Amino acid sequence: MKTKQNSLVRGSALQITSRVTLILLSAALLTVAARPQIQQTLTSNPSWIPGDNLVTARAAQTATLLPSGKVLVAGGNNTTVLNSAELYDPASGTWAVTGSMAVARSRHTATLLPSGKVLVAGGNNNSDGRLDSAEVYDPATGTWTATGSMATARSRHTATLLPSGKVLIAGGGLYGSSLHSAELYDPATGLWTATGDLGTARGGHTATLLRSRKVLVAGGFDFAGGALDSAELYDPTTGLWMSTGNMSTARAGHPTATLLPNRQVLVTGGLADDGITALASAELYNPATGVWTATGSMATARSVHTATLLPNGQVLVAGGLNGNSYSASAELYDLATGLWTATASMATARCRHTATLLLAGDVLVAGGVRNGGTLRSTELYDSATGQ
């Protein structure tokens, strides 16, 4: 009986994966058709070219690649926390306003659901309070609909789409406190249910879905203390967390942990235990052994940067903050050598921006902060010419 149930679970997960894959492949045909026009512009100025400005300057927003190939950007902050959202169309290279969220939010999460809709959850509002509310965006109508609220208000948490189609929300924290709790969102019912607590309270961490279907959570802040070096694994079959190997360096503000083609996870930069010093170091997690090993360090120490896995298997790191210095530099990580090489710098130094891999292979960088000012500017990195 247990074998039959396991087969049904695997079958369900494969069906979800197949549906999303078919949607994305269909969208890719439309995007590739528009590629020649974009490529003509890119080859005149290799690596980075300026893109159309955002309608609204914003930082600490979310950016989600939709099945259509468009990019949904939502919330973030400017002089105030924003509820507005906009869409980037790679075919025309332009931004357009779409429906606004019911609640202004920043440092929230956005998750593409198997249905093609987008779940936004938590974050903080204009009074610097945590939010428990959640909303779902429907690309077909361009509107947001309220869905069930989380049991716990949270910001700087993580959200991971599981093979079951549910979304795992874990941890979070703001101003002197951090959270152990985790919750699951079920798109079929619009409801949240509690799942196992993290072993260590944390916020500003990363979460990565491994090929084993477990979720790796690493680092972050214990907001009552400092940066963490610990890591944990969530098992969706039991709903429990278990400790795994510690990182060699405590770090937080390392915005992404990148699942590489060889199944290892690359973590880069971030803030040291003092919460001030930016790191240049990088390390790899091996799921087969549960061990972290150091890999080549970046040329530039950086936190609140972005990291994007390119179609060729390299990882593009761009921007970030080092003390009071905003970075425009970009680097490429080569898994085969474990080394970083410089690539062209962005036109604008920025941190707390977003980076989205488009279906055609370009990387869209949008918004962020520079010298205390929020940005409307965007740039496109061409992975074909930026090597």
Q: What 3-state class would DSSP assign to 5?
A: helix
Helix, strand, coil percentages, rounded to 5, for the chain: 10, 40, 50
Could you tell me the residue range of the domain that residue 340 belongs to?
2-381
* CATH assignment of the domain containing 139: 2.120.10.80
pLDDT digits (tens, 9 = 90+) for 183-224: 999 999 999 999 999 999 999 999 999 999 999 999 999 866
Per-residue pLDDT, 256: 82
Q: How many folded domains does the chain comprise? A: 1
Going by pLDDT thresholds of 50, 70 and 90, the confidence category of residue 250 is very high
In a domain, 387, yes or no: no
Question: Can you tell me the distance from the alpha carbon of 167 to that of 187, in angstroms, rounded to the nearest whole number?
Answer: 8
Going by pLDDT thresholds of 50, 70 and 90, the confidence category of residue 35 is very low
Q: From the CB of residue 197, how many other CB atoms can be counted at a distance below 10 Å?
A: 15
pLDDT digits (tens, 9 = 90+) for 93-115: 999 999 999 999 999 999 999 99
Per-residue pLDDT, 128: 66
Question: Can you tell me the distance from the alpha carbon of 37 to that of 4, in angstroms, rounded to the nearest whole number?
Answer: 51
Average pLDDT of the residues in 244-261: 92
In a domain, 370, yes or no: yes
Q: Does 315 score more than 50 pLDDT?
A: yes
Q: Does 9 score more than 50 pLDDT?
A: no
In a domain, 139, yes or no: yes
Per-residue pLDDT, 225: 67
In a domain, 145, yes or no: yes
Is 0.75 topped by the overall pTM?
yes
Q: What percent of the chain clears pLDDT 70, i.e. is strictly above it? A: 86
pLDDT digits (tens, 9 = 90+) for 236-246: 999 999 999 99
Per-residue pLDDT, 189: 98
In a domain, 220, yes or no: yes
Per-residue pLDDT, 253: 81
Which of these ranges, 102-116, 123-137, 192-206, 330-344, has the smallest mean pLDDT?
Answer: 123-137
Per-residue CA distances from 123 to 72, 132, 155, 253, 257 (Å): 17, 8, 4, 16, 20
The residues pairing with 94 across neighbouring beta strands, listed in sequence order, are 89
In a domain, 374, yes or no: yes
In a domain, 386, yes or no: no
In a domain, 45, yes or no: yes
